[in-house]
Amino acid sequence: MAYELSKLRNIGISAHIDSGKTTLTERILFFCDKIHAIHEVRGKDGVGATMDSMELEKERGITIASAATSVQWKDTPINIIDTPGHVDFTIEVERSLRVLDGGILVLCSVAGVQSQSITVDRQLKRYKVPRVAFVNKCDRTGANPYKVKDQLREKLNLNAVMIQVPIGLEEKHEGAIDLVEMKAYYFDADERHGVRVEDIPADLLDEANEKREELLDAASMFDDNIMELMMEGEDVPSDMLNAAIRKGVLALELCPVFVGSAYKNKGVQALLDGVTNYLPCPTDVENVALDLDNEEKEVVLESKDDAKTVALGFKLEDGQFGQLTYVRVYQGMLKKGGELINVRTQKKFKVGRLVRMHSNNMEDITEAQAGDIVALFGVECASGDTFCHPDLNYSLTSMYVPNAVISLSINPVDKSASDKMAKALNRFTKEDPTFRTFVDKESNETIISGMGELHLEVYIERMKREYGAVVETGAPQVAYRETITQPAEFNYTHKKQSGGSGQYGRVAGIMEPNTEENYTFVNEIKGGSIPTEYIPSCDKGFQDSMTKGHLIGFPVEGIKMTINDGQYHQVDSSDKAFQIAARGAFKEAYMKANPCILEPIMKVTLEGPAEFQGNLFGLVNQRRGMILGSSEEGSSCVVEAEVPLSEMFGFSTVLRSSTQGKAEFSMEVAKYAPVPKGISDELMRKYEEEKKSNN
């Protein structure tokens, strides 16, 4: 299906959890004739919302993976990505925003701007995504769209302006007045295209005129002609006003606010008109790639079908027909049978099956135009890979990927679960860069890490449902380190005689704390007391010793090893003998050098309503934390602190309950610091017990 590029819209729907985002998407599908029945989000009718295709999503009533779908509104083709609103699924939001041209920010008319709305807005700003706002749930008790508009200005610093005035609120909500056309729109709930257009009711005329003046004032900043017409008392034509609003939106300097109730089918059609009128088409947005053959020089991509193809694989899924890769085409065309190269792996491949997605249903197509979002089958790739015409070597800067903050050990319950778990982990790590896995060499346990407890819970549940892999989970674990606090000398001899050639090597020198580097080796041997060929053996023996400390078995860091003397035997000395001697010397010096345990200290940023600032301080202080500073912005506050990672497990749950779910936190490793003596003694006691039980 060919279409004018200027008509195409690639949009994302982002919001705080429970703002009605998936319900809104469901209604958009309904009004665009994509579905013929509407289902509730939590799947109470046994079906669940169309966009929530994962069983787990229908049950929990939260959107976990952003499903893509294509619809047509009047003469405008629209690709929609439905994104998760939960903080643990931020990577899905980041991914979809990377490939979108415009966004709809959904807000609840009662709760207003919430913590995840702030996070989502920050992400929209990071990727410079123009947006419109939809104030949903205007039929709820306590609905106040004007309060939400003010919060958009105060909390998100957006130039928000009403484009509609609600006709009635709470149970009296019937529709909205369009401030561009100055007409009243009534939405008949049960009809697919039931919109009645009437004159503005007399009791709302003054309010409508006042709000239109505000809209004209905001729009006049983008068109001097509007200013002149206003000064002359002339009427401003709708086309001129729409063009000025669009200009402001594309410049990220205006955010039109729509009102309605998706659940009651009110306001959705007007919002779709707003998407058409105000959000950008692919040619309105500048996308750049890095030319890897020219010192990563930035190249502006052209949304033209006749240019050489550049596309981004932004999401992977395992479908019943193999791996499905969601792709945004930035330049040129994707054609079935065409040849492309994966820039990361430098492997060429032919485009096999090409499909357009509708939630979890698909339509086979033969080509995709520049600017389109489609999916490919059978391409070996990872999330964030760039696909190019073989003549190009361009890379689209990959999505920002936050660091994982929580780890758990998982153990399969039996051998068959072990094989299934391996398959599941292989798939999950490919499709989600924030989900990581490795095997702990000591315990031989598989460790998974991710963005939060719910994030890991969902993957454990998916392992069970999709692969039949039942696993037991351990307690969350901290990555401790060990180091020394004072210098210590060593003089160690390794001697072994047991018939035939023996083993002999003596190593002497000094071990010192090293603040500059993790490990430094200095050779001060004079006169050949250790032959040159055995010096690397000593170095290797020391480095091997650092992989596992003698206090609690964690890696050692911050050590300088200097060898200044030694002895060898003409027959019995060998590479192996000096490695063993070095390991013995390391242990001897280590225990004399006053070793200590280091723990990761996290820089934690807490954000929430100012009324909860005291609670936030309290939560930090209860966790051996140190407050670095705090600031207030409008009705929000930000607290910055340093807290040991070991004290942060279960924190997201505690934070939500302490702040009515209105605060959020982010954290990253700031430094490693010594563990207090009481905790250090307890860690060593547990380590010794584990060693005994393993022997």
Residue 315 labelled as part of a binding site: no
Residue 540 labelled as part of a binding site: no
Enter the tokens of residue 159.
């130039």
Pairing of strands 595-609, 481-484: antiparallel
Enter the tokens of residue 90.
């931020």
Residue 83 labelled as part of a binding site: yes
Residue 388 labelled as part of a binding site: no
Residue 550 labelled as part of a binding site: no
Q: Are 303 and 330 in contact (CB under 8 A)?
A: yes
Residue 22 labelled as part of a binding site: yes
Enter the tokens of residue 250.
């594309």
Residue 361 labelled as part of a binding site: no
Residue 211 labelled as part of a binding site: no
Task: Please enumerate in sequence order all residues whose Cβ is within 8 A of that of 16, keeping only pairs 6 or more positions apart, or say none.
Answer: 85, 107, 108, 111, 114, 115, 116, 117, 120
Residue 137 labelled as part of a binding site: yes
Enter the tokens of residue 439.
């095997």
Residue 20 labelled as part of a binding site: yes
Q: Helix 238-250 and helix 268-278: axis angle, to 10°? A: 70
Three-state secondary-structure class, residue 111: coil
End-to-end CA distance of the chain: 68
CA distance 639 to 619: 11
Residue 136 labelled as part of a binding site: yes
Task: Please enumerate in sequence order all residues whose Cβ is within 8 A of that of 311, keeping only pairs 6 or more positions apart, or say none.
Answer: 327, 328, 329, 330, 331, 334, 340, 386, 387, 388
Residue 653 labelled as part of a binding site: no
Residue 18 labelled as part of a binding site: yes
E strands present in 464-530: 471-473, 481-484, 488-496, 503-513, 519-523
Q: Are 122 and 37 in contact (CB under 8 A)?
A: no
Residue 139 labelled as part of a binding site: yes
Enter the tokens of residue 194.
């039931």
CA distance 693 to 695: 6
Geometric angle at alpha carbon 472, from 470 and 475, rounded to 5°: 150
Residue 474 labelled as part of a binding site: no
Enter the tokens of residue 367.
């080509």
Residue 440 labelled as part of a binding site: no
Secondary structure string (H, E, C) spanning 396-442: CCCCCCCCCCEEEEEEECCHHHHHHHHHHHHHHHHHCCCCEEEECCC
Residue 637 labelled as part of a binding site: no
Residues at the binding site are: 15-22, 82-86, 136-139
Residues at the binding site for GTP are: 15-22, 82-86, 136-139
